[in-house]
Amino acid sequence: MLLALANVLTHHAEHDADSGVLKRYADAELGWRNFVVSVKKRFLPSKGSIAENFSRDTTYPVVKVVDGDTIKIEYEGRVESVRLIGVDTPETVHPTKPVEPYGPAASAFTTNLLAGESVYLRFGEERRDGYGRMLAYVFRASDCFFVNLELVCRGYGRITLFEHKYTERFQRCQDQAQEDRKGLWLQELGNAAASH
């Protein structure tokens, strides 16, 4: 939609060139294009994506995003909770813990990625956690986008302590997010500065 608006501005600029407003339209168009680029950088996949072959996999519709690292899906005729492997986002719905800083942002990010989407699942060594939730790597079916990894790359969550299939890749993404002060790493930097 924003790109379409930029195209309309360009069209009007060409027709209004004689009236002396070409520069104003060109400035507006450049502003919109810069805005579109910044939106794409924020919401499109990062370099952290991983190639997987899903040609024989089943897709599972996302029923609900519970929080940043937990979703509900339709799985073999029932609704199942899925905990994303390898990433831990700040709490927003824990029954005994308060909402943690940056938790709502992580939940919103996962919701933006998965609302109305279907997903592919890849399982680790353990299929369920102590709460009965399925444990899985989650890939958005429309473009095979690796959700678990992206949460780490964008600073919406930190890596979990146990080893798993993608530990090294997750660690590289977290190191980069910390260096770039993305997401919760900027929050933690502010907290550290305030405590000194």
Specify the CATH number for the domain of residue 106. Answer: 2.40.50.90
- Pick the range with the lowest mean pLDDT from 3-12, 69-78, 96-105: 3-12
Are 23 and 64 part of one and the same domain?
Answer: no
- Residue 49's nearest CA partner among 138, 162, 158 is 138
Residue 117 falls inside a structural domain: yes
Are 96 and 185 part of one and the same domain?
Answer: yes
Per the CB < 8 A criterion, the answer to whether 40 and 59 are in contact is no
190 pLDDT exceeds 60? no
Local structure of 99: helix, strand or coil? coil
- Number of separate domains in the chain: 2
Enumerate the active-site residues.
Answer: 83, 91, 133
Are 138 and 94 part of one and the same domain?
Answer: yes
* Helix then strand then coil, % of the chain, to nearest 5: 45, 25, 35
Domain that holds residue 136: 60-192
Are 39 and 66 part of one and the same domain?
Answer: no
Residue 28 falls inside a structural domain: yes
Tell which wins on pLDDT, 51 or 92.
92
Helix axes 2-15, 22-43, angle to 10 degrees: 170
Q: Are strands 60-67 and 70-75 parallel, antiparallel or unpaired?
A: antiparallel
User: What's the token pair of residue 122?
Assistant: 């890849």
Residue 186 falls inside a structural domain: yes
Residue 71 falls inside a structural domain: yes
Are 99 and 138 part of one and the same domain?
Answer: yes
34/120 Cα distance (integer angstroms) = 33
Residue 48 falls inside a structural domain: no
- Residue 153's nearest CA partner among 4, 75, 62, 41 is 41
Residue 52 falls inside a structural domain: no
Residues above pLDDT 70, as percent of the chain: 70
**What number of residues does the chain have?**
196
Are 23 and 119 part of one and the same domain?
Answer: no
Beta-carbon-side half-sphere exposure of residue 89 (alpha carbons within 13 Å): 34
Tell me which residue has tokens 């979990």: 160
Q: What is the mean pLDDT of the chain?
A: 80
Are 100 and 168 part of one and the same domain?
Answer: yes
The verdict on pTM exceeding 0.85 is no
User: Which residue type is seen at 16?
Assistant: D
pLDDT digits (tens, 9 = 90+) for 17-62: 444 444 444 455 555 544 443 444 444 445 456 778 899 999 999 9
Are 144 and 176 part of one and the same domain?
Answer: yes
pLDDT digits (tens, 9 = 90+) for 127-175: 999 999 999 999 999 999 999 999 999 999 999 988 888 999 999 999 9
Are 78 and 124 part of one and the same domain?
Answer: yes
